Amino acid sequence: MKQRFFRQDDDRKIMKWMRKDAVVAWLFLAPSAVGFALFYLVPFIMGVFYSFVDSPVDRHFAGLDNYRELLMSESFRKAVTNTFYFSAVSVPLNLTLSLGLAVLLNANLYLQKWLRTAYVLPLVVPVASIVFVWQLLFDWNGSVNAWLSSFGTERVDWMKTDAARYVIIVVYLWKNIGYNVVLFLAGLQQIPKDYYETAHVEGAGRLRQFGSITLVYLTPTMFFVVILSIMNSFKVFRETYLIAGDYPHDSIYMMQHYMNNMFTSLDIQKLTAAATMMFGCILLIVIGLFALERRYRQFME
């Protein structure tokens, strides 16, 4: 009886301590929670609400009329097509190149530390400087055309032809590969070297080791990198806008261009409807990736 009494008393003390600890934790989290609600959650809810009304002033319920107008808009369909094409091309390229570079940098490579620093530098360079450099490279009288003309090749108007799409992809890769390389390097360094030594003793080649050990243990990191790369591919508007302006070539007219133009014309209904659809698409992609990752983990177990 005495042991049960003391045990119950200890349980009460632990629960009381946990309640106090939870109160202190919520007090520290309160400023961040208030800021998140004011600047993210409330504006998002208001945006979804405005996408279902005919005017932000009258606020008469319009149902799905704004979404129907969006789907009938040629400029909106063009923006959606270009955005998803850009993500479908740039994200796999980003994943492949960053993983390959991380594997190389994880080995005993000459100037390893300097190369790691070089890949991270684009993350700290101001966007305005980046845009200025790329404008100098791909202008009609820029360095790339000067180099091509020296070999007898005709100049290319990079930002006013379909080639603009590939320029933006290169800019995106240059800007984002470094961060992914850092993440992959962290994941690679967590894999015990004993696994590779055992596989080598058993006769497994490098490709077999890469497929059976590296990719398996990098799955959580790769999953995070894919989500991060998709999110960054939807945020390429800043560089595109600074390089090509409000109305760029049709091949690089993205969703953010469409929403920016709707904001300029104060068409709040179409702006919020487009933003809501964009959020829904990203959410579906992330949910699908979570489902694939869960199935893969179950398969490996």
- Look up the CATH architecture of domain 71-300: Orthogonal Bundle (1.10)
**pLDDT of 103-126, one tens digit each?**
888 876 666 666 667 777 777 777
Q: What are the sequence ranges of the domains in the chain?
A: 1-50, 71-300
* The pTM of the whole model exceeds 0.95: no
Angle (nearest 5°) at CA 123 between 120 and 128: 140
Average pLDDT over residues 68-86: 88
Q: pLDDT band at residue 93, thresholds of 50, 70 and 90?
A: very high
CA 26 from chain centre, in angstroms, equals: 30
**pLDDT of 217-251, one tens digit each?**
888 888 888 888 888 888 777 778 777 777 788 88
Q: What is the pLDDT of residue 17?
A: 61
**pLDDT of 138-153, one tens digit each?**
777 777 888 878 777 7
Q: pLDDT band at residue 58, thresholds of 50, 70 and 90?
A: confident
Angle (nearest 5°) at CA 53 between 48 and 55: 115
Q: What is the pLDDT of residue 5?
A: 45
Which residues touch 43 (CB under 8 Å, ≥6 apart)?
none
Average pLDDT score, the chain? 80
Least reliable range by pLDDT among 80-89, 155-164, 181-190, 228-237 = 155-164
